[in-house]
Amino acid sequence: MADSEMKHVQTTDSVATEKSLSHNEADEFGAHTKTDQKETAVVKKLDMHILPTLWLMCSLNFPDRNPMINGKLNGLAEDLNLRGTQHSTCVSILFVRIAEAPGLRGACADWRTWLFCLMDSLHISADAFNDFLLTVVKTGNFNTTVDLPLACPSYFMAGITSIIVSYSSGRFNERLWHVTISKGIAIASFAMSAATLSVVVCYAGVMLFADETYGVNDIILGWTPSTLGRTDEEKAVAIAM
């Protein structure tokens, strides 16, 4: 009788434990429901301290690149006697990243790492429009003073879209369709700009392309560590790759 009761208690405890684990189990994106108010408060506090610093670091990451891009409008390529793709090569060098060796083997062994590398490489290729945006705007036959302000709305819109799309992705815990739909709109807007001679339509297409392309930056970067790597080192290498 005692053995039977003990087995019943153990079975009941096991079922309760399994239900608890199942409820708090992370999904395929590494997310799970947060029920601890203290944990939620700590996460919010970390966000308030870390995010402003990251924004500042990201902002300071671009001043060294933009003068190279903007300088082309003021004769930089002619002054330096740059021919063909030399200017593009100089700009590309500013975007080079190097992955450190520790944990490299583990990340390389996962086929998903290479799939994410391909996805991000295609995404970054689309982001490269930034290097030529002013050149495109210049085709409207405006002067340099007008060209620079005309390029600003695209980044302003992209910033707002990035926040909205990232919030939606996190709210619904979904990545694939947020990226796919945004890229689909970007492709359509690029085709719209390339297929017309109208300055207004071309400009609208460029703005929409920038908006939807930059809008998924954070989603792809956030998707990578939540899916790849079993250790922090492997996740870091996967992001670097």
Asked if residue 197 has pLDDT above 50, the reply is: yes
pLDDT digits (tens, 9 = 90+) for 151-174: 788 888 888 888 898 888 888 888
Give the 3-state secondary structure of the chain. CHHHHHHHHHHHHHHHHHHHHHHHCCCCCCCCCCCCHHHHHHHHHHHHHHHHHHHHHHHHCCCCCHHHHHHHHHCHHHHCCCCCCHHHHHHHHCCCCCCCCCCHHHHHHCHHHHHHHHHHHHHHHHHHHHHCHHHHHHCCCCCHHHHHHHHHHHHHHHHHHHHHHHHHHHHHCCCHHHHHHHHHHHHHHHHHHHCCCCHHHHHHHHHHHHHHHHCCHHHHHHHHHHHCCCCHHHHHHHHHC
Residues 6+ apart with CB under 8 A from 218: 162, 166
- At 64 the pLDDT is 65
Least Cα distance to 136 among 122, 150, 153 occurs for 150
Both structure tokens of 58: 């990201």
Residues 6+ apart with CB under 8 A from 139: 199, 202
When comparing pLDDT for 17 and 189, which is higher? 189
Q: What is the pTM of this model?
A: 0.63
Residue 24 in contact with residue 39, Cβ under 8 Å?
no
- At 101 the pLDDT is 54
How many residues comprise the chain?
A: 241
Within 10 A of 75 (CB to CB), how many other CB atoms are there?
9
pLDDT digits (tens, 9 = 90+) for 25-59: 655 555 566 677 888 888 888 888 888 888 888 77
Asked if residue 106 has pLDDT above 50, the reply is: yes
User: What is the average pLDDT score of the chain?
Assistant: 75
Asked if residue 18 has pLDDT above 50, the reply is: no
Asked if residue 241 has pLDDT above 80, the reply is: no
Which range is most confident: 59-63, 115-119, 219-223? 115-119
Q: What is the mean pLDDT of residues 195-215?
A: 84
pLDDT digits (tens, 9 = 90+) for 76-102: 777 888 777 777 777 777 666 655 555
- At 10 the pLDDT is 45
- At 34 the pLDDT is 65
- At 171 the pLDDT is 84
143, amino acid identity: N
Both structure tokens of 150: 């005309």
Least confident of 14-28, 70-84, 112-126: 14-28
Half-sphere exposure of 140 (CA within 13 A, CB side): 22
Residue 237 in contact with residue 107, Cβ under 8 Å?
yes
- At 26 the pLDDT is 59
- At 17 the pLDDT is 43
209/213 Cα distance (integer angstroms): 6
Percentage above 70 pLDDT, the chain? 78
16/21 Cα distance (integer angstroms): 9
- At 8 the pLDDT is 44
